[in-house]
């Protein structure tokens, strides 16, 4: 156990410490009496003879569990010291008990309003001091436990919701892909025969024209009316267009299958660019111009990425959440402007590999994040969107997936009014 009074450090071996108490008092006698008593009660005691020294002491990495603070001190008195303590997020949750000879109710109320949890009246009654310290340390420990359990509960709830969303979206996309896959395979397979049959019929018509150059008037009128030469030339182009269309649908089905990969399959090597493309394909309609919004410009700067070992379905969910968030931000900014087509939305996606990790950046030119919101955007259920427009889960889920499930990083850079850029860092393996 360590007892510190003034500038002296004394190391005394007792039973395990019951907690660290910082005593702030300009009276050496009071310091000595309290320190000795608390020392004998198995507390580790730190001491400071002024409010200024106490604040300096609290700038160190180690912090006390409780502060005994004298009210009447030269320089910064106890009230001002407490005020500064409670304005510092790093130490504001440390319980403060005032020590005072003042008995006026107004003084006690003032101290409690500043954030103190209790008063100890001079001259000290050792048993009373001990009971009050023990009670407030117990309350603080219970509060810490409740906060930790609440955070754990929120994380579990977020993970359950995330798993349910990923599973539901995966089942939906897999179902759509399955239903579309059969008919498109039928069409694609028969197009080759259609093209072959049409080619044979066209050749047959050309043979008729070659050996019967002067057909009856009725046939000549029909040929002129239908513009046979145009039909024969365009028919081949139509078949080629249909082939391109079926190839595109087949590609969409492949993207949907890629997006719907489930976590149950375990971590696998995945092409993140394919995941991005499948997500952009699903969200493609939201980039187009409509009566309420101008088109959103998409800029892609893809680097040379290796295959990344990950839960592909979950990473696709991160892409979905972040890109949706970017689109929402641009749309909300346009609504605030209240002038049609005044702002051209831009979403930029950049990828690169650096060392043993890949970096993906998703940036937009929406309204950005206000300073007051920047510490909360990854919190569960926190949203700046109007009621009914957001659940406050998208960014929280993305954070859980990247940080907890993939041991990566999800950070952001934002300037209010200018947009936000999210940076995803994932280990390659």
**Per-residue model confidence as pLDDT tens digits over 331-342:** 888 776 654 445
Question: Mean pLDDT across the chain, nearest whole number?
Answer: 80
- Residue 263 structure tokens: 């976590």
One DSSP character per residue, 200-234 reads HHHHHHHHHHHH-SS--HHHHHHHHHHTHHHHHHH
Fold for domain 2-124? Rossmann fold (3.40.50)
CATH architecture of 263-429: 2-Layer Sandwich (3.30)
Please check whether residue 151 is in contact with residue 381, taking contact to mean a CB–CB distance below 8 angstroms: no
Euclidean distance between CA atoms 412 and 422, whole angstroms = 4
Separation of first and last alpha carbons in the chain:
45
SS (H, E, C) 112-172: HHCCCCEEEECCCCHHHHHHHHHHHHHHHHHHHHHHHHHHHHHHHHHHHHHHHHHHHHHHH
pLDDT (0 to 100) of residue 169: 64
Q: What does the pLDDT read at residue 9?
A: 45
Confidence class of residue 425 from pLDDT cuts 50, 70 and 90? very high
* Residue partners of 122: CB distance under 8 A and separation at least 6: 30, 99, 100, 101
Please tell me the least confidently modeled range out of 26-30, 160-164, 258-262, 310-314.
258-262
- Separation of alpha carbons 67 and 120, rounded Å: 12
Contact 140, 65 (CB under 8 A): yes
Other beta carbons less than 10 A from residue 414's beta carbon? 22
Query: Tens digit of pLDDT for each residue in 71-92?
Result: 888 888 888 989 898 888 888 8
Q: Which of 2-16, 45-59, 79-93 has the lowest mean pLDDT?
A: 2-16
Phi, psi of 417 (to 5 degrees): 90, -10
Return the closest-CA partner of residue 409 out of 364, 354, 368: 354
Alpha-carbon distance of 281 to 293, in angstroms, equals: 19
CB–CB of 85/58 below 8 Å? yes
């Amino acid at each position: 156990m360590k007892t510190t009074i003034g500038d002296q450090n004394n190391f005394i071996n007792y039973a395990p410490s019951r907690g660290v108490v910082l005593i702030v008092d300009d009276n050496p006698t009071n310091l000595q009496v309290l320190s000795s008593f608390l020392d004998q009660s198995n507390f580790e005691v730190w001491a400071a003879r002024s409010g200024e020294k106490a604040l300096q002491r609290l700038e160190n990495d180690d912090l006390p569990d409780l502060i005994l603070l004298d009210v009447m001190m030269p320089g910064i008195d106890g009230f001002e010291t407490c005020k500064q303590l409670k304005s510092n997020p790093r130490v504001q949750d440390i319980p403060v008990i005032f020590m005072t000879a003042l008995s006026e109710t107004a003084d006690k109320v003032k101290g409690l309003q500043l954030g103190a949890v209790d008063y100890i009246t001079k001259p000290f009654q050792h048993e009373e001091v001990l009971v009050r310290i023990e009670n407030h340390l117990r309350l603080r420990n219970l509060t810490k436990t409740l906060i930790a359990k609440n955070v754990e509960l929120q994380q579990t709830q977020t993970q359950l919701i995330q798993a349910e969303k990923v599973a539901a979206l995966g089942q939906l996309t897999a179902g759509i892909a399955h239903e579309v896959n059969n008919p498109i395979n039928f069409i694609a397979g028969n197009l080759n025969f259609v093209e072959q049959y049409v080619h044979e019929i066209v050749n047959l018509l050309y043979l008729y024209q070659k050996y019967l150059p002067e057909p009856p008037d009725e046939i000549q009128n029909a040929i002129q009316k239908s513009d046979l030469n145009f039909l024969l030339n365009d028919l081949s182009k139509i078949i080629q267009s249909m082939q391109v269309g079926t190839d595109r649908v087949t590609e969409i089905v492949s993207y949907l299958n890629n997006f719907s990969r489930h976590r149950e399959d375990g971590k696998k090597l995945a092409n993140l660019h394919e995941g991005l493309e499948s997500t952009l394909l699903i969200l493609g309609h939201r980039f187009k111009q409509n009566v309420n919004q101008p088109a959103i410009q998409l800029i892609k700067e893809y680097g040379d990425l290796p295959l990344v070992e990950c839960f592909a379905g979950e990473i696709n969910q991160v892409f979905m959440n972040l890109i949706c968030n970017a689109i929402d931000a641009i749309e909300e900014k346009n609504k605030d402007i209240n002038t049609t087509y005044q702002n051209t939305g831009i979403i930029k996606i950049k990828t690169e590999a650096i060392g043993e990790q890949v970096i993906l950046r998703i940036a937009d030119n929406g309204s950005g994040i206000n300073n007051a919101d920047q510490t909360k955007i990854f919190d569960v259920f926190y949203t700046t969107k109007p009621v009914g427009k957001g659940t406050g889960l998208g960014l929280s889920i993305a954070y859980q997936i990247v940080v907890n499930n993939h041991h990566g990083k999800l950070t952001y850079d934002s300037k209010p009014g200018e947009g936000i850029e999210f940076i995803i860092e994932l280990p390659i393996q």
